[in-house]
Amino acid sequence: MKISISNISFSYNGTPTLSDIDFGIEKGDLVALVGPNGSGKSTLIKCMNGILKPYQGTIFINEKTLSDFTPVELAKEMAYIPQNENRNASMNVFDMVLLGRKPYINWKPSEHDLAITGEIIEALHIGHLAMRPFNKLSGGQQQTVYIARALAQEPDILLLDEPTSNLDMQHQLEVLELLKSFTRKGLTVIIALHDINLAARYANKMMMLKSGRVFAAGTTEIINETNIENLFGIKVKIIKDDGDLFVIPKGLKQEKQV
């Protein structure tokens, strides 16, 4: 599934949040959106999912534009994991994952819907949690359930907004390993990430956003000291080790003394 973001601009009640975003994504890419708070990462993800409508520009999925899809058709192509979801839902894990089948369900789920839900639960190794209430799970387990629910939509594109922000280091790596493994099967994954090191390690493409504009875009080659320092307003040191990149913050950038 190829995505082209063409010249997108969006504003919230007259305040421009995104301006002239242009980007191309190929099937199987793992794209990281990075940038400071309020740079427009979440807004861009919501625009890609049709939750927000840009006032200018188009998003193409293969050759079709977003508006060529009905909401239900789009839900079969693209799954979204929001950043702030109600984590207090008391339904059990199976029901939660089954909810991802919603675009395919009219009155009640079919045997096929149940089978797919069972398969995904098993593939993600959460079978032992299947009958447990969602709100009693740990943060890492909840994130895995969200990913399972998104996969139940059988999407070609997966959008995630800060999936690792509440997780410990082990679970952060687990989630990204999992997503990376899906991209090898042809899923296109787009993640808004705060952690530049995770982005450097797992993404093959990256877009840096600053104040709603593309600051830099391309492969992870764009992670260099000048770019990071200007993007986040901090001083950093970048270490290369065996082809891995590590960004080490060294402190705030001092304003120039006049």
Partner 1 sequence: MTEKIVAQYKKFIRRRVWFMGITVLLLIGFAGLALVSGSADTSFSSLLRVISGNGEPFSSQIILSIRLPRVIGAVLAGTALAVSGAVIQSLLKNPLASPFTLGISGAAAFGAAFAIIFLGAGSGYSSPADAAIINNPYVVTVSAFIWSLVSVVVILLLSKYKGATPEIIILSGIIISSLFGAGISAMQYFSDDVQLAAIVFWTFGDMGRATWRETLIMTAVLVPVMAFFLQQSWNYKSLQSGDEYARSLGVNVTRVRLTGMVAASLATAVVVSFFGVIAFVGLVVPHIVRRIIGSDEHFVIPASALFGGAFLLLSDTLARTAMAPVIMPVGILTSFIGAPLFLFLLIRGMKR
User: Interface residues with partner 1 (CB under 8 A)?
Assistant: 46, 49-51, 70-75, 78-80, 82, 84-86, 89-92, 94-96, 99-100, 102-103, 105, 107-108, 114-115, 117-119, 121-122, 127, 130-131, 133, 153
Shortest distance in whole angstroms from residue 34 CB to partner 1: 21
Q: At closest approach, how far in Å is the CB of 170 from partner 1?
A: 24
**Dist CA 78 CA 23 (whole Å):** 18
Segments of the chain assigned E as strands: 3-12, 15-25, 30-34, 56-61, 64-65, 78-81, 157-161, 188-192, 205-210, 213-218, 234-241, 244-252
Residue 178 φ/ψ region, left for φ over 0, alpha for ψ in the -120 to 50 degree band, beta for the rest: alpha
Nearest residue (CB) to partner 1, 33 versus 79: 79
- How many Cβ atoms are within 10 Å of 136's Cβ, its own excluded? 12
Cβ within 8 Å of residue 238, ≥6 positions away: 223, 224, 225, 228, 245, 246, 247, 248
- Judged by beta carbon, residue 94 or residue 232, the one nearer partner 1 is 94
Shortest gap between Cβ of 38 and partner 1 (angstroms)?
A: 17
Residue 227 C-beta: closest distance to partner 1, Å: 31
Nearer residue to partner 1 within complex by CB, 153 or 183: 153
Nearer to partner 1, 73 or 244 (CB): 73
Which residue number, 79 or 209, has a Cβ lying nearer to partner 1? 79
- Cβ 180 to partner 1 shortest distance, Å: 22
